[in-house]
Amino acid sequence: MPLKLSSKRIRKASTQVGQLMIMVGVTFFGLLLITFLIGRVVPIDPVLAVVGDKAPPEVYEKVRLAMGLDLPLWKQFFIYVSKILQGDLGTSTLTAKPVLEDIFRVFPATFELAFLATLIGIFVGIPLGVFSAVYRGSIWDHIARVVGLLGYSLPIFWLALMALMVFYAKLDLLPGPGRVDVFYEDIVEPVTGLMLLDSLLAHEWDIFKNALSHVIMPASLLGYYSMAYLSRMTRSFMIEQLRQEYILTARVKGVAEWKVIWGHAFGNCGIPLITVIALSFGSLLEGSVLTETIFAWPGLGLYLTNSLLNADMNSVLGSTIVVGVIFLSVNLFSDFLYKIADPRAR
């Protein structure tokens, strides 16, 4: 009997893993198909991006043949997919380096910014959402909802410009654009690519303080948007849980109110919040283009912007693929954590 039960579980687990792999494969294939079609539809000649608009016709034709643009679309797509699967995202015409190498160089800056913003969203947004749900309908609830609504409504580029004007230009409380001051650039040897961590590892305390002061504004702005999203979702989850009968039963039994809120209601909200936090983190990794551009933050967003402005389609499409893979990975990881935290999901 135990052997039959074990075999049944193994078959069920194998089926679930197979379904998951198929889903991931189909999603990734769709991502590659979309990026390939974008590269063929946009009114940018990839050959001119390489040879320039003053190249003689014979050079232009030679490069076009070398890039395989004379082949049927299905053959071009097959070559495109095979290169992507080998980790070849092409060469950037802007930096003359492999796109994947460029992305590995700039991505840690984006990760550092998104991670700090997510921490701000978690430690401010979740308590605010709980507070708003507990005091639902009060003046404090309305204030919290307005604060969250502004986070959804105000354009990030406007907030970034206002923050620079007030805290940098007028009050001189925080430094301007960039990751560190020019004086401190290229002093710390990049180990992880995370400036704060690398400066700590190198015991460069002045550079750490300077990098921390530079990250405050962009991380706070992105953290505000994360906070607005997390507070809204937390409030919704908490209101649903506070209506349940087990909450009424706990209160009737005389359980302390703080334990009812944080131990019972929030305990059941924590599991779906895992997915919400993961989605928020993934959106920050892919959606910080405007913030990085305004603050001259040398991350993936600024790299993508510069690539677009210079018609560097290899870099644009390569960055798009990487962002898609990251978002897909974050979703899979959140599902994995969800199943660990909630036995019912297994």
- Each residue's pLDDT tens digit, 124-168: 999 999 999 999 888 988 988 888 888 878 888 888 899 999 999
| Band of residue 3 on the pLDDT scale cut at 50, 70, 90 | very low
Higher per-residue pLDDT: 81 or 53: 81
What one-letter code names the amino acid at 32?
L
**Do residues 58 and 47 lie in contact, with contact meaning Cβ atoms separated by under 8 Å?**
no
Give 284's pLDDT tier (boundaries 50, 70, 90): confident
Whole-number Å distance between alpha carbons of 294 and 109:
15
Residue 1 has pLDDT above 50, yes or no: no
- Kindly indicate the confidence band of residue 22, based on its pLDDT and cuts at 50, 70 and 90: confident
Q: DSSP class of residue 98?
A: B
Cα 312–Cα 323–Cα 82 angle in degrees, nearest 5: 70
Report the alpha-carbon distance of residue 214 to residue 297 in Å, rounded.
9
Phi-psi region of 137 (alpha: psi -120 to 50; beta: other; left: phi over 0): left
Residue 344 has pLDDT above 70, yes or no: no
What would the mean pLDDT of 70-76 be, rounded to a whole number? Answer: 80
Model confidence at 177: pLDDT above 80: yes
Q: Can you tell me the distance from the alpha carbon of 91 to that of 97, in angstroms, rounded to the nearest whole number?
A: 6
Between vectors from CA 265 to CA 262 and to CA 268, what angle results, nearest 5°?
A: 105
> Most distant CA pair in the chain: distance in Å?
87
Contact by Cβ (8 Å): 301, 179: no
pLDDT at 275 over 60: yes
Residues 6+ apart with CB under 8 A from 267: none
Give the Cα-Cα-Cα angle 199, 162, 296 (nearest 5 degrees).
40
CATH of 103-345, one of 3.30.429.10, 1.10.3720.10, 3.40.1390.40, 3.40.1160.10: 1.10.3720.10
Q: Is a pLDDT exceeding 70 seen at residue 343?
A: no
The CA R_g of the chain, rounded to the nearest whole Å, is 25
Model confidence at 4, in pLDDT bands (50, 70, 90)? low
The average pLDDT across 110-127 equals: 92
Q: Which amino acid is at 17?
A: V
Rounded Cα distance, 292 and 148, in Å = 22
Share of the chain above pLDDT 90, in %: 23
SS3 state at 136: coil
The pLDDT of 302-331, averaged and rounded, is 83
Rounded to whole angstroms, the Cα distance separating 2 from 220 reads: 55
Please, are residues 149 and 256 in contact by the beta-carbon 8 Å criterion? no
Residue 74 pLDDT > 60: yes
Q: Do residues 129 and 240 lie in contact, with contact meaning Cβ atoms separated by under 8 Å?
A: no
Better-scored residue on pLDDT, 90 or 161: 161
Mean pLDDT (whole number) for 251-258: 86
For tokens 């197979």, name the residue: 18
pLDDT above 70: residue 6: no
**Mean pLDDT of the chain, nearest integer:** 84
The H or E element spanning position 147 is helix 139-153
Place of tokens 């974050």: 330
Measured in whole angstroms, the distance separating CA 232 from the mean position of its chain's CA atoms is 19
Count of alpha carbons within 13 angstroms of residue 120, beta-carbon side: 21
120: tokens are 């701000």
DSSP 3-state of 89:
coil
Q: Which of 63-72, 183-192, 299-308 has the lowest mean pLDDT?
A: 63-72
| Range with the largest mean pLDDT of 4-8, 48-52, 276-280 | 276-280
Please name every residue paired with 98 in a beta bridge, in sequence order, or none if there are none: 91
Instruction: Name the region of 65 (left: φ>0; alpha: ψ -120 to 50; beta: rest).
Output: alpha
| CA gap 126, 120 in Å, rounded | 10
